[in-house]
Chain A
Amino acid sequence: MRHLLDTKTLAREDALRILDVAEDMADTQQREVKKLPTLRGKTVVNLFFEDSTRTRISFEAAAKRLSADVINFSAKGSSVSKGESLQDTAQTLQAMAADAVVIRHSASGAPRTLATSGWISAGVVNAGDGTHEHPTQALLDAFTIRKRRYGADSRGRDLTGMRVTIVGDILHSRVARSNVWLLHTLGAEVALVAPPTLVPQDVSAWPVRVGYDLDEAVGEGPDALMMLRIQLERMNASYFPNEREYSRRWGLDPERFAALPQSTMVMHPGPMNRGLEICAEAADSPRSTVLDQVTNGVSVRMAALYLLLAGERPAPGADDDAQKEDAR
């Protein structure tokens, strides 16, 4: 695997391999010595053009547990905020012999531009690009669903037959997009629920059902209900009138939480707006996977870094950085 840019072009076998290796990584995290020597001598750069403490420290923990050296680069106060281009930043990293670049950027497509530009030879991991994709988030979500469902018997299994409903600002959510493609690849059925203004204008080609009614979706009793964070700034662009109405119609409030089957997992990528899209009862209940998602994030990111860096690196232009057929 030369780069990990998206789940849209991630083949089923590759997705399962990441999830299965993540199982092994998760096991090592139970030991007293949580560190592995595997990526000793490799340099991983966290290139974060957008603020994100949580994802950045997750990647940092993952790299360090594999004994890689980590360099953190955040845009604020750096040369980038003074107008240095992506190209110049990338070439600086190349000159510093980075082996992998974990990039989070506000522009959709920036990781692909970085990976295909020829500016760097390092492997590129997309830690979130604009509203496009966040592949490691979808992978840790899939890992979490699989683990909750199959426990110690997870290895090798996909998510066939599982029904997952994603609720929130689909239009602006890279987490939603990555989850839609990956869940579908792994055989799950996906439903989306959102105010009509927050569904992309044309999702006819997406392998999903779309609805506007959260109570109806709750009534269907999905296996997993994934709540997305709503950004209140959207209110100012008239996507919905105010937070009260949003919360009343699309929030997982105590009534809706009580109406969910006991077996439904409640998921959230974080950070949560408690009381807005998700009530405290739901967030803190045993059915909530929020903290598991964080723990699993480190294991999944360890797996991604391992598969990117440990073996012999494929040549540029090989497999996954070229245009690839849909994983379906």
Chain B
Amino acid sequence: MSEALLFTGARIEGGASADILVADGVIAGVGSGLDRRGARIVDADGLLVLPGLVDLHTHLREPGYEDSETVLTGSRAAAVGGYTAVFAMPNTSPVADTAGVVEQELALGEAAGLVTVQPIGAVTVGQKGERLAELGAMAASRARVRVFSDDGSCVWDPLIMRRALEYVKAFDGVIAQHAQDPRLTAGAQMNEGTVSSELGLAGWPAVAEESIIARDVLLAEHVGSRLHVCHLSTAGSVDLIRWAKKRGVQVTAEVTPHHLLLTEDLVRGYDARFKVNPPLRRNEDVQAVREGLADGTIDIVATDHAPHPAEAKACEWQAAANGMVGLESALRVVHAAMVDTGLLEWTDVARVMSRTPAAIGQLPGHGRPIAAGEPAELTFYDPAAGGEFGVADLRGRSVNSPYLGRRLPGDVRFTVHAGRLTVADGALTEEARA
């Protein structure tokens, strides 16, 4: 059993200050005058505490692409970013489309022991979009898969999408759609618009995302299913979700930290660190997704952490891979884009980065209130810290971050998972680094 921990003086979700006693994997007490015998005292004065962050969209790359990331290295990156749970996307090799592979991923996560790794299952066999994968078997497996996605690819065939939406009702699953019409985006390199026309890069039009979302919310309504939309990036998409929710469609949506902060102007130097799918959009789109997150149209922030080896980014734009790492920087970027701009309070951050992702993904034990008796999954953050984000802030295997050299506010100081410190004083603990 690990030692008991007593955190003193932390502001609960940015609100009132309290002490928090953690023992035997649970929160033993919150308030003052707690029994501190045998506990290690951790001074959390000046820090705010959030329920442990939950990422509904992470690429851990293992099995198959271990040169970019492994479950262990990805878990380290997550812990350092304040995450206590991540949902691992299935575009691995082999694809996670069977009970066997998802159970393997679950076991790797348990062995790493730093965050809860919850596998996401593929919607179709091999993510090819042709036949449904064994969704039921994955749901019934030890991995208890509830979220299914072909992320990386769009479930484009409307009939397959309909069947998938209907089928997962049997075990209360949800389809997480990567909305991208493949025919409208063949060879696309960046957002279609004024910048792409100048740079001579093939465009990825907003309508290719919006037309799929429009179709899918109508399908979800028709068959009475839940739908989740991955990495929303355009103003039009926000409007569609707003409209759908008004109609009563059971749709949820996520936005990445980078789409809350960065615009397509960064593509002008052809620096492939800024190449991502869906692409960076216009300033109007950034403002719209921020407002959407603030007013609840967009339910959560999800990182879409996508590690790539150096040679996949240090090359001409067209040859570069899509994706950015994001676990280590996520909370700080949300701080800059949403809290410093007055759009979210810290308690809203707790909602969009912990409570709601856990609810959508049906992950018990995470996103719980910070109260006695609850599992000890906690993130302690210093909002007054901050500095230039650099390679030293990254803990995963890959360094393809768009924030290198950029000033970001805040700093994750302590992360508690299953009652144990994975991050202390801003660094991975000894056992976490093992």
| Interface flag for B211 (CB, 8 Å) | no
| A109-B199 in contact given A85-B315, A201-B205, A323-B269 (Cβ < 8 Å) | yes
| Interface flag for B270 (CB, 8 Å) | yes
Binds B, one of A125-133, A143-151, A227-235: A125-133
| Interface flag for A268 (CB, 8 Å) | no
Q: How far is the CA of A109 from the CA of B270 in the complex (A)?
A: 6
| Interface flag for A283 (CB, 8 Å) | no
| A107-B316 in contact given A85-B311, A116-B269 (Cβ < 8 Å) | yes
| Interface flag for B375 (CB, 8 Å) | no
Digit string of B170-210 for contact with A (CB within 8 Å is 1, else 0)? Answer: 00000000000000000001001110111111110100000
> Are B199 and A200 touching (Cβ within 8 A)?
no
Least CB distance from A40 to B in Å reads 33
Please, which residues of chain B bring their CB within 8 A of the CB of A104? none
| A323-B200 in contact given A87-B315, A110-B316 (Cβ < 8 Å) | no
16 residue pairs of the A-B complex, CB under 8 angstroms, read A85-B319, A108-B200, A109-B270, A112-B269, A112-B270, A113-B316, A129-B200, A130-B318, A131-B202, A132-B200, A132-B201, A177-B198, A177-B200, A200-B197, A201-B192, A201-B205
| Interface flag for B222 (CB, 8 Å) | no
With an 8 Å Cβ cutoff, the count of chain A residues facing the other chain is 29
Please, which residues of chain B bring their CB within 8 A of the CB of A129? 200
The interface residues of chain A, by DSSP majority, are classed as loop
Digit string of B194-234 for contact with A (CB within 8 Å is 1, else 0)? Answer: 10111111110100000000000000000000000000000
Binds B, one of A15-23, A202-210, A244-252, A272-280: A202-210
Beyond A85-B319, A86-B319, 16 additional pairs, beta carbon < 8 A: A8-B198, A86-B315, A108-B318, A109-B199, A109-B316, A110-B270, A110-B316, A112-B270, A113-B272, A113-B315, A131-B200, A131-B201, A132-B200, A177-B200, A201-B203, A323-B268
Considering residues B203, B316, B318, which has the most beta carbons from chain A within 10 angstroms of its beta carbon?
B316
Q: How far is the CA of A117 from the CA of B310 in the complex (A)?
A: 13
| Interface flag for B359 (CB, 8 Å) | no
| Interface flag for B39 (CB, 8 Å) | no
Q: How far is the CA of A191 from the CA of B200 in the complex (A)?
A: 19
| Interface flag for B317 (CB, 8 Å) | yes
| Interface flag for A174 (CB, 8 Å) | yes
The total of Cβ contacts below 8 Å across the A-B interface reads 80
Please, which residues of chain B bring their CB within 8 A of the CB of A201? 192-193, 196-197, 203, 205
Please, which residues of chain B bring their CB within 8 A of the CB of A130? 200-201, 318
The 10 closest A-B pairs by CB, nearest first: A132-B200, A109-B270, A200-B197, A107-B318, A131-B200, A110-B316, A108-B200, A107-B316, A109-B317, A202-B194
| Interface flag for A106 (CB, 8 Å) | yes
Q: How far is the CA of A256 from the CA of B202 in the complex (A)?
A: 32
Q: How far is the CA of A131 from the CA of B270 in the complex (A)?
A: 14
Please, which residues of chain B bring their CB within 8 A of the CB of A3? none
| Interface flag for A105 (CB, 8 Å) | yes
Q: How far is the CA of A105 from the CA of B200 in the complex (A)?
A: 13
Cβ-closest chain B residue relative to A132? B200
Please, which residues of chain A bring their CB within 8 A of the CB of B270? 108-110, 112-113
Hey, which bits of chain B sit against chain A, CB under 8 A?
Answer: 189, 192-194, 196-203, 205, 268-270, 272, 311, 314-319
Q: How far is the CA of A205 from the CA of B194 in the complex (A)?
A: 7
| A107-B314 in contact given A133-B200, A177-B200, A323-B268 (Cβ < 8 Å) | no
> Are A203 and B314 touching (Cβ within 8 A)?
no
Hey, which bits of chain A sit against chain B, CB under 8 A?
Answer: 8, 85-87, 105-110, 112-113, 116-117, 129-133, 174, 177, 200-206, 323
Q: How far is the CA of A202 from the CA of B199 in the complex (A)?
A: 12
The one of B269, B311, B317 in contact with A107, judged by C-beta atoms closer than 8 angstroms, is B317
Cβ-closest chain A residue relative to B311? A85
Considering residues B192, B200, B319, which has the most beta carbons from chain A within 10 angstroms of its beta carbon?
B200
Q: How far is the CA of A206 from the CA of B193 in the complex (A)?
A: 12
| A206-B318 in contact given A201-B192, A323-B268, A323-B269 (Cβ < 8 Å) | no
Q: How far is the CA of A107 from the CA of B319 in the complex (A)?
A: 8
> Are B314 and A202 touching (Cβ within 8 A)?
no
Cβ-closest chain B residue relative to A170? B197
> Are B316 and A86 touching (Cβ within 8 A)?
yes
Please, which residues of chain A bring their CB within 8 A of the CB of B317? 107-110, 113
Least CB distance from B228 to A in Å reads 29
Q: How far is the CA of A69 from the CA of B311 in the complex (A)?
A: 32
The one of A8, A133, A200 in contact with B196, judged by C-beta atoms closer than 8 angstroms, is A200
Least CB distance from B382 to A in Å reads 35
Least CB distance from A183 to B in Å reads 15
Please, which residues of chain A bring their CB within 8 A of the CB of B314? 87, 117
Please, which residues of chain B bring their CB within 8 A of the CB of A86? 315-316, 319
Least CB distance from B317 to A in Å reads 5
Please, which residues of chain B bring their CB within 8 A of the CB of A8? 198
Least CB distance from B279 to A in Å reads 14
Least CB distance from B282 to A in Å reads 10
Please, which residues of chain A bring their CB within 8 A of the CB of B200? 108-109, 129-133, 174, 177
Cβ-closest chain B residue relative to A133? B200
Please, which residues of chain B bring their CB within 8 A of the CB of A204? 194
Least CB distance from A319 to B in Å reads 16
| A202-B193 in contact given A108-B200, A109-B199, A174-B200 (Cβ < 8 Å) | yes
